[in-house]
Amino acid sequence: MNSDTNKRIKPTKQEETTLIEGERLSFEITKSCPYTGARAGMLTTPHGVVPTPAFIPVGSQATVKSLTPREFSDLGTKIVLGNAYHLYLRPGIAVIEKLGGLHRFMSWPGPLLTDSGGYQVFSLAHLRQVSDEGVHFHSHIDGSEHLLTPERSIEFQEALGADIIMAFDECPPYSEDIDAVKEAVARTHRWAERCLSSKKRTDQALYGIVQGGAFTELRHYSASFLTALGFDGYGIGGLSIGEPKEVTKAIVEETVALLPEDRPRYLMGVGSPDDLIAGVSQGIDIFDSALPTRIARTGGFFTRYGRRIIRNAHFRDRDGPLDEGCDCDTCRNFSAAYLHHLFRCEELLAYRLATIHNLRFVLRLMEEMRRSILDGSFPSFKESFLSSYEPTDEAMRLSQRQKGRKWRATKFSERS
């Protein structure tokens, strides 16, 4: 970081111990579980070390919604995700670059990962056209026309200055047939080569993204092609977008076996507690998802026994914390009845307190899994957690995702 950044951020003593000025990017496996694929490692970046397995809170627009960087750092966050698509549209890449890069802009001294924007433009099917050149799309904000190419995606991410950047890829919907997915995979591979060719900075790690939908043969082909290119790490994309959980688990199992053991494995868009445990069991090192913060804003709270909806009437007069044994500020200081009251009144504090709890729950779960891998107790930890955790009903989960996609499509259409 430059001197201006240091003046702006003023990290705490604890943060100062994790800043590694000029350190090279590296990844090292510390210990593996002999009975599962779980592994604990250390991901070193120029802005700090990330113990793995790790969960990355989503800060698409340079903010983890409702929290300050100091607050989500105190919750245990080691690395944050920003999104090149959203930041390109607002406030603009040039603005952030002029103000010292994304770290300084959002006052976050730790590691950053930026998504290429590929998933966002492909989720706006009615607003974009895809060609080998790139994606022509209309902004969901004001309807203006834009072109995003692999070269521009890398250019934007280099200007933002994240420690880890992602290749531009095509993410086909789960409903697509094998011919359409095959075409998307081939385009993803061509774009991956162009991303590697256009990368200039040596202080950023570039991860490729394995695609292939729910088709095993295409996942094998994509993993083989991308690993031959020699990326710094590998994302597994195109999952958790509407397919059944068993399909997700099967595809992850197949894909992980094809990825290099000495490179980070990143399962994109997965954030429910039971899915995190499944992914760690399969050898995933990094996860990201907006789920913990998104459900927090609707009154959903993670607990050891499954998701709880604080708006439900039986919380109206419940004394004591929502989640017994939780060490977050929300559970240590406020009763379930108070949280119920805040959500019923739609007070802004409700969303902050719920976000604090859900992020701490997920980050603590990652800490506990890492600790159990290191001390050799991961299989028993996994069994104990899952024996009491009740996953969200599968039919309801898929229905909620479909409603969410329809709502976003309607919202973007109204704006464009």
25 and 162 Cβ atoms separated by less than 8 Å: no
3-state SS string over 90-112? Answer: CCCHHHHHHCCCHHHHCCCCCCE
| 324 φ, ψ (degrees, to nearest 5) | -60, 135
CA 298 to chain centre: 19
CA distance 79 to 73: 9
Tokens encoding 249: 């688990």
| 166 φ, ψ (degrees, to nearest 5) | -115, 145
Active site residue 323: no
User: Which residue of the set 163, 275, 288, 323 is catalytic?
Assistant: 288
Active site residue 115: yes
CA distance 150 to 169: 8
3-state SS string over the chain? Answer: CCHHHHHHHCCCHHHHCCCCCCCCCEEEEEEECCCCCCEEEEEEECCEEEEECEEEEECCCCCCCCCCHHHHHHCCCCCEEEEHHHHHHCCCHHHHHHCCCHHHHCCCCCCEEEECCHHHHHHCHHHEEECCCCEEEECCCCCCEEEECHHHHHHHHHHHCCCEEECCCCCCCCCCCHHHHHHHHHHHHHHHHHHHHHCCCCCCEEEEEECCCCCHHHHHHHHHHHHHHCCCEEEECCCCCCCCHHHHHHHHHHHHCCCCCCCCEEEECCCCHHHHHHHHHCCCCEEEECHHHHHHCCCEEEECCEEEECCCHHHCCCCCCCCCCCCCHHHHHCCHHHHHHHHHHCCHHHHHHHHHHHHHHHHHHHHHHHHHHHHCCHHHHHHHHHHHCECCCHHHHHHHHHHHHHHHHHHHHHHC
User: Which residue of the set 115, 163, 169, 323 is catalytic?
Assistant: 115
Question: Residues with catalytic annotation?
Answer: 115, 288
